[in-house]
Structure 1
């Protein structure tokens, strides 16, 4: 085999220029996702330690920044099939920057900010270089790679400057940089989305979203297990143990309703605003999943008859409502599935309304009642569609059998 055809030395190629380019995620991308397990866990810890409006704002802002860094790198890997040695070394460098970002999160409000912002700037610079490299190698003959690389190089400078500014100017400049990234994608006429070759492998991106969703939702298990282990599993009473089991089941259902109704779903078309909606809806879905995971740690802090901790309830109810709203949003942007016949918008709206209503009831009722209401909002999202689907599809199957018998 000629050396340039071997994956270890083959130059990056736009997927449109590759015959039979597959949508499967490469192991390098999976390994890059692995560091986000730590980032999400530490972000959840940060929110647990700062359960107030200011703390939530910082948590949400950092989550969005980290998510966009992950997503921009994923877009490159979706556009360009790149597996050579240099690409692997660049991806390993991005993993290191993510490690530094993760380690900075517990102290991000003070001395940790310098390290987070500088690591983020280097991460953005590496993403820019990935695109620049394709342009330099002649892989991309249009302006796509040069435009993207220029944008990320300039924004890397902005993020680096924010590392040295005093509060609140550091956060303000950093936020401006995050907003600018998205505008540079979406602005009419000059945005990257206007480039004809900016067509990621939609199946590949759908799989990346699904894999990250597993990581994000799975953090709920971390919170529950670590909280219980710190208390001592042998010390808790049966009520707390029952709450713990309920929390684990809730985490499972969050994944269930995603994968049955929207997981690995491709957008219904390639129109700009369909792709943007699909993209942003996944961001809010994952933000909500982390909120729910943090809130479920409260299950181990209370028995049946005390009110559920109010701050945890606020995060959990708002998180579930946002999760279901984002799920509905994604459902509207992807290709229609059989399951969509039964998971109707009214069911999603019922869950959203009940999740919000539960928050106002929680302070006045035992945790057992709060869990029952919140659990109904969640479990109804799978119980009702599955029940309806079974009844309707069974009836349709019976009618089809009867029709076949009559035709003979």
Structure 2
């Protein structure tokens, strides 16, 4: 029996060179995804303690950096089937870098910065190493892997330099590196999107996005529970407990809406424009999921009659509007769009967006029971209207006829 018959000895191969390549997520990738539960939880805590414009901007910058750390790994694993011992060891060290990154977030603008930047630099260097191995081990004829390896090594050096540059210049250097991560894929003529082989397995990447969405929304549950536990569940009034219950149901509803509308659905084509839009829309919708998870923790601090905390309220309303707008874009980008949009139409999404923005304006001036009711109407209408339409068509005749 050949050594390549065993996953731990099987060399990295581009999925286009594997006749029986499948889209399923490997256990090593799933473990890597789960580590981001901690990272996103700590990132959400940072935002909840920095509810001002400065904290919001730092949070968004950190979110993008952490998203790319996850996404670049996901793209590599979607392009190359790597299961050997060397790859597992590399992934293990990359997981440890996420531990360092997460631990540095609470004081990232102070003494934690050096640890964050160096941890991130090592993370990027390990991604470069994966591509370099694919070039050397698999006999990859296309220069794509070599180019990606070079790009990430250079980016790792830039992030390492930012650890020792005086602040605030260090933040600008690091931010430039984060922007360059995106540009090295997408720049015309020199970005790696120009390669015909730079097309991830569509089912694999959509499944990874779905798993990350569950992680982001799960972080919201952690935040809600920890906030309530820290305050003391026995100390809060009945109105607060009702708010907390509705907050938990809202997080479940967000997952319901995403997966019924676009989650786990493959992009409708391999066209670069479709893939780029699908990618950017997921950056936005995942950001909104984290933001709403933080905002719903504000339910612990109010009963029925006082206004919802302004900072939390702004995050929740803007987050919901961005979530629904991103979902509308994704519905136009995924395969089998007619089925996903038949009941959950653009008009329903537009209603939710408009109502969320209305709550953004009025929530500081009305009791939280009013703001929560309107926000909940914006959210739960995204389930109620499609269910109503489906039941209406079911009474009229077979669902298959209605969908057609």
| Interval of TM-score (by shorter of Structure 1 and Structure 2) | over 0.9
CA contact (8 A) 1:25 1:208 kept: yes
Map 1:221-260; keep pairs closer than 5 Å. Answer: 221-260=221-260
Structure 2: how far apart are the matches of 1:227 and 1:155? 38
Partner residue in 2 for 1:404: none
State TM-score, norm by structure 2.
Answer: 0.97
| Change over 3 Å in CA distance of 1:204–1:400 after alignment to 2 | closer
Could you give the per-residue CA deviations for residues 56-83 of structure 1, whole angstroms, max 9, x where no partner exists?
A: 0000000011001100001110011110
Which deviations, in whole Å up to 9, do the C-alpha atoms of 1:365-404 show, x marking residues without a partner? 1100010010011111111111112212442328969xxx
State the 1:290 CA deviation.
Answer: 0.7
**Is 1:70 aligned to 2:70, yes or no?**
yes
Identify the residue that residue 359 of structure 2 maps to in structure 1: 358
CA distance in structure 1 between the aligned counterparts of 2:284 and 2:150, rounded to whole angstroms: 28
**2-side partners of 1:54 and 1:360: how far apart?**
21
Secondary structure of residue in 1 paired with 2:118 = helix
In structure 2, the partner of 1:121 is 121
Call closer, same or farther: CA 1:334–1:400 in 2, change over 3 Å. Answer: closer
Q: Alpha carbons of 1:252 and 1:266: their partners in 2 closer, same or farther (altered >3 Å)? A: same
Higher mean displacement: 36-45 or 326-335:
326-335
d(CA) in 2 for partners of 1:223 and 1:398?
A: 40
- Residue 202 of structure 1 deviates from its aligned partner by 0.6
Normalising by structure 1, what TM-score?
0.96
The structure-2 alpha-carbon separation of the partners of 1:163 and 1:391, relative to structure 1 and needing over 3 Å to count, comes to same
- 2:37 corresponds to: 37
**In structure 2, what is the equivalent of residue 406 of structure 1?**
none
The 2-side partners of 1:274 and 1:35 are apart by 29
* 2:149 counterpart residue number: 149
Contact 2:13 2:138 (C-alpha < 8 Å) held by counterparts: no
Instruction: Between 188-197 and 205-214, report the one with greater CA deviation.
Output: 188-197
CA distance in 1, matches of 2:133, 2:244: 50
Does the alignment pair 1:107 with 2:107?
Answer: yes
Q: Cα distance 1:126–1:359, how it changes in 2: closer, same or farther (>3 A)?
A: same
Task: Give the Å deviation of 1:343.
Answer: 1.1
- Please tell me whether the aligned partners of residues 393 and 399 of structure 2 are also in contact (alpha carbons under 8 angstroms): no
4+ runs deviating over 4 angstroms = 398-401
What SS is found at the alignment partner of 1:132?
A: helix
Contact 2:343–2:390, Cα closer than 8 Å, also in 1: yes
**Which region of structure 1 is more displaced relative to structure 2, 383-392 or 193-202?**
383-392
Q: Which residue of 1 aligns with 2:178?
A: 178
Q: Distance in 1 between matches of 2:64 and 2:341?
A: 29
Residues 207 and 264, structure 1, Cα contact 8 Å, conserved in 2: yes
Q: Where do 5+ consecutive residues of structure 1 fail to align?
A: 402-408
Describe the shift of the 1:276–1:398 C-alpha distance in structure 2 as closer, same or farther (beyond 3 A). Answer: closer
Out of 383-392 and 66-75, give the one that drifted further.
Answer: 383-392
Matched residues, number: 401
Residue 376 of structure 2: aligned partner: 375
Q: Which residue of 2 aligns with 1:93?
A: 93
Distance 2:82 2:316 in 1: 40
* SS of corresponding position for 2:23: coil
Question: C-alpha separation between the residues in 2 aligned to 1:398 and 1:70?
Answer: 39
Query: Would the aligned equivalents of 2:78 and 2:204 in 1 still touch at CA under 8 Å?
Result: yes
Contact 1:10 1:83 in 2 (8 A): yes
Q: Does the CA contact (< 8 Å) of 2:331 and 2:340 recur in 1?
A: no
Flag structure 2 segments of 5+ consecutive residues without an equivalent: none
Shift of residue 166, structure 1, vs aligned partner:
1.6
> Is the 1:12–1:139 Cα contact (8 Å) retained in structure 2?
no
Q: Give the superposition deviation at 1:55.
A: 0.3
The Cα shift of 1:35 comes to: 1.2
Q: Is the 8 A contact 1:131 1:145 kept in 2?
A: yes
Q: Secondary structure at the match of 2:9?
A: coil
